[in-house]
Structure 1
Amino acid sequence: MDKVIPRKNRKFRYLSIAIGVFLVLAVIVFFSFNSKRTLNVKADELSIQKVEKAYFEDFVVFQAKVEPLNVMLVNVTEGGSVKEIFVENGAMVTKGQSLARLYNPNTELNYLTQETAIIEQINNLNTGKLNIRNQELNLTKDLVLIEHDYNDAKRLYDVNAKLFAKDVISKNDWNTFKESLRFQEERRKTIQQSIQKEKQSNQVQISQINHSIQTMEKSLDILRNNKKNFLITAPASGRLTSFEPVLGKTFQAGESIGKIDSKQGYKLAANVDEFYLEKIREGLKGQVEFKGKTLEVIVTKVIPEVKNGHFIVELAFASKEDITLQDGLSFGVKLVLSEKNKILVLPKGIFSQETAGKWIFVVKGNKGEKRFIKLGRENPSYYEVLEGLKEGESVVISSYSDYKDIEELSIQ
C-alpha cells in the first residue's frame, strides 16, 4: 500500500530567502553610509604645514601710487577741435599761460548771431529813450507858447482894468478880457500838470530802459568773453601733466584736457579690498621701501565708498625730510592694523577657497582626517586659530578642489 508524503510549504522558503537578502542589503547600506569616504593621494601632491605659536602681526599689504597733494584740472569750457598747441606735456606753466586753442565754427556763428541780436536790442532801447526825450521837449515847447499867450492876456487884463475903472471901456469888453485871462490861466495850469506827470512817467521808463541796456551790455560782455574760451589757459602755476591734445581732435565742453601739479607735496593713494574697510582708519601707521630706506607713512583719509569691491585710502609720509618723488610712482605699503602678540597660528594656503576656513585635513601618520575649525584674524602669512587645532599638529593647506566631498585622505 502506497504512503502519502506531505508537500513542503514553498511560501515559507521564499519568505526566508527574502528576509535574508533584505538583511544583507541593510548591512551593506549601513556600512556604506557610516564608513568614511576615503581618497588615496600622493604625499608630494600635498602641502603640509604645522600649527604653531608665533608672533602675529595683523597687517595688510597693498600697492599705492604717488599723486600730487594739490591737483587742478584743466577743463574745456567750449567744445571744439584742437587748432593750435602752445606747450608740451610735462612743461612748467604759469597761471594764465596759453596752452591750446580750439575751434568750433557752429558755436562761433551762434555767438555772432547772439551778439548782433543784443546790439540791435540795445539800439532799439536807445531809440525809445530818444523818443521819450523828444516828446518831453515838444511839451516844453507847447508850454513856452502857452506862457506867452498867458502873459499877453495878463497884460491886456491889467491895462483894461484901469480903463474900465475910468469907464473908458464897456463892461462887455471888460468881461471879454477877464474871460480870456481865466482861460489862459487854466490852460497854463493844465499843461504844467501834464508836463509834470509826463516827466515822472518818463523818468520811470528811462530808468527801466537804462537798466535793460545795462543788463544787455553785461550779456554782451559775457558773450564776448565766452568767445575767448576757445583759448585754453592754465588755471594755476605748476607742472602740466596728462596733457595730450592732438591737432584736429575734438573735445566736449566740460571734458578734462590735462592736470596741473602745483608742486606743493605728494600723497599716496591706493585701492584696498573691501574686506579691510572696518579695519583701516585714519591715523594707522605703515611702512614703504624707497631707495633702500624704510619710510613711515600714516593714513590721512579713508573714503568708505566701495566700487568694484575696493575702497580708497590716502596716506602721507610721516618724515619731514625732503623726499624726491614723481607722480605715478608705485609703492608696496605694509599697513599695521594691530600690535604684535604671540598666538596660535596656521600658515595661509589656498585650502580656504574651498572650505571658507571652516574645516581642514589634520595629518596623523599616513592619514588626513577632516576636522571643523574656527579661524579669526589674518595677514598675508597666517590665520589666527581660535578653535579646532592644537600646537604642533600638521595640516594640509594646499588646494582642496578634489577633496571637497572626501572625509579622509590616505597619504601614500
Structure 2
Amino acid sequence: MKKLIPIVIVLIFAGAIGFKLYSNKQVINEKNQPVDRSSIAVPVKVAKVKSVNVDGQFSLPAVLKPYEEVDITINTSGKVKRLNFNLGSNVRKGQVIGSIDSDIKSINLKNAELQAKKLKKDFQRIKELFEGNAATQVELDNAEFNYKNAEYQVESLKQQIQDGNLVSPINGVVVSKDIEVGEFMSAGKPAAHVVDLSKMKTLVMVSEKDVYQLKEGMKVTVTSDLFADAPMEGTISFISPNGDANHNYEVEVLITDASKKNLKAGTFVSVAFDIQSKGSLLQIPKKALIEGVTNPAAYVAKGSSVTLKKLVLGRDLGENIEVLSGLKEGELVVVSGQINLTESSIINQIK
C-alpha cells in the first residue's frame, strides 16, 4: 500500500501538468484564429457614371511600341560556334550575327564540288563521243543525270551551311539574348529579339462615332508626361475596317521623331485627335480605375455590395476618362477605398 502512494502522487501530478498544457494550447489556438471581417462593412466613396457632351479635340491613352520587332531564329539544328552580338548591340538588316558549327558540312561541300567537277568532265567527254557516234544515248543520259545530281548536292550543302547562320531581318537593337556559344540550338528556337526604335507606333481603340472622322495620313499630336513641353507629331498609318463587339476600331499611329527624344517602348502617351465631331459620352473619374489604364476595371456599387467590371476606355478627359463599354449611365463606381475590397465585400457608402 505504501508503495502505491508515491505512484498515485506522480500520476496525479503528471495529469495536472498535462491538463495545464492542454488548456494553454487551447488558449493559444483561440488567439491564432483569423478574425472574420466578412461582416464588417468597408467604407467607400462612390461617383456616378455620367454622360457629357463633347466636341472638337479628344485624346486617347496609349502605349508606345517598336515600329518593328522580331525573334531571330535559325533554320537548322547544331552547336553554336560563334555569336557576334550582345545585349544592346545595333544590328543591320541582312547582317550575319552568329552561326552553328558547320565544319563537317564544309568538308562535305568540298568533296561534293570535286565530285561535281569530275562528273561534269565525264559528261562533256561522253557528249563528244555521242556526237561522234561513239557513245549511246543511255550513256549520255546517265552521265548527264550523275552530273546534275552532283550539282544539286553542292547547292543543297551550300543552303544547309547558309541555314546555319543567324541573320537579322531588320535594322534594330538586340534586347534579349537567349543562346550562348557552345550550346545546342534547335531549328526554330529564338536566339535573340531585335526591336527597331528608329520609329515607333501606338495603337488606340476609337469609338464608332469618331472613327468615321479619321483618315489614313491624318496628323495627330502625341504627348508624354516625360516630355510634356515637347509634343510629337504622329500620322495615322492604319484604320481597321473591322470593329470589335463594342463597335470600337483599332487605329495605328506612326511616330517618326520618337527616337530624337530617346523614348522607349512601353512608355505611356496620349494621342490627341482634332476632329469636328459632336456627341455625348460616358465618363468616370480616373481614380475609379483599380489598375490604371493598362488593365482597366472598376468596382460598381449597388446597395451594400460591389461587383468588379472590366472596362474598355476611350478618350482621356483630364481627371476623367471615357468608358466605351462595361458601365451604364447612372451606375455608381467606387473612387475611394478600393484597396480593401473584394467582390464578396460589404460596403458602407460615405460622402
Q: 2 CA distance for matches of 1:322 and 1:114?
A: 45
* 1:241–1:203 distance in 2 versus 1, CA, 3 Å: same
Give unmatched runs, 5+ long, in structure 2.
1-40, 290-296, 304-312
Q: 1 CA distance for matches of 2:323 and 2:93?
A: 54
Q: 2 CA distance for matches of 1:312 and 1:249?
A: 42
Q: 1 CA distance for matches of 2:259 and 2:345?
A: 55
Instruction: Name the counterpart of 2:174.
Output: 241
Instruction: Name the counterpart of 1:288.
Output: 223
Instruction: Name the counterpart of 2:19.
Output: none
* TM-score normalised by L of structure 1: 0.45
Q: Which has the larger radius of gyration?
A: 1
* 1:340–1:294 distance in 2 versus 1, CA, 3 Å: farther
Contact 2:97 2:166 in 1 (8 A): yes
Please report how far the alpha carbon of residue 246 of structure 1 lies from its aligned counterpart in structure 2 after TM superposition.
1.7
1:316 is aligned to 2:267: no
Instruction: Name the counterpart of 1:47.
Output: 46
> In angstroms, what is the RMSD of aligned CA positions?
5.7
Instruction: Name the counterpart of 2:26.
Output: none
Give unmatched runs, 5+ long, in structure 1.
1-41, 137-194, 362-376, 390-394
Highest RCO, 1 vs 2 (Cα 8 Å, sep ≥ 6)? 1
Please report how far the alpha carbon of residue 45 of structure 1 lies from its aligned counterpart in structure 2 after TM superposition.
4.3
SS at match of 1:206: helix
Q: 2 CA distance for matches of 1:411 and 1:321?
A: 45
Contact 1:46 1:396 in 2 (8 A): no
Q: 2 CA distance for matches of 1:344 and 1:261?
A: 37
Contact 1:60 1:336 in 2 (8 A): yes
1:381 is aligned to 2:316: no
Identity %: 9
Equivalences for residues 135-150 of structure 1 within 5 A = none
Contact 1:115 1:223 in 2 (8 A): no
* 1:256–1:277 distance in 2 versus 1, CA, 3 Å: farther
Instruction: Name the counterpart of 1:250.
Output: 184
Please report how far the alpha carbon of residue 266 of structure 1 lies from its aligned counterpart in structure 2 after TM superposition.
0.4
* 1:282–1:267 distance in 2 versus 1, CA, 3 Å: farther
Q: CA deviation digits over 1:325-354, x for unaligned, max 9?
A: 355251323354965647596646689865
Contact 1:58 1:378 in 2 (8 A): no
1:62 is aligned to 2:61: yes
Please report how far the alpha carbon of residue 74 of structure 1 lies from its aligned counterpart in structure 2 after TM superposition.
3.9
Equivalences for residues 93-108 of structure 1 within 5 A = 93=91, 98-103=96-101, 108=104
* 1:97–1:202 distance in 2 versus 1, CA, 3 Å: same
Normalized per residue, the structure richer in strand is: 2
Contact 2:222 2:271 in 1 (8 A): yes
Q: CA deviation digits over 1:255-274, x for unaligned, max 9?
A: 443356677x402134x57x
Please report how far the alpha carbon of residue 230 of structure 1 lies from its aligned counterpart in structure 2 after TM superposition.
3.3
Equivalenced residue count is 270
* TM-score normalised by L of structure 2: 0.50
Normalized per residue, the structure richer in helix is: 1
Q: 2 CA distance for matches of 1:321 and 1:261?
A: 14
* 1:403–1:338 distance in 2 versus 1, CA, 3 Å: farther
1:202 is aligned to 2:136: yes
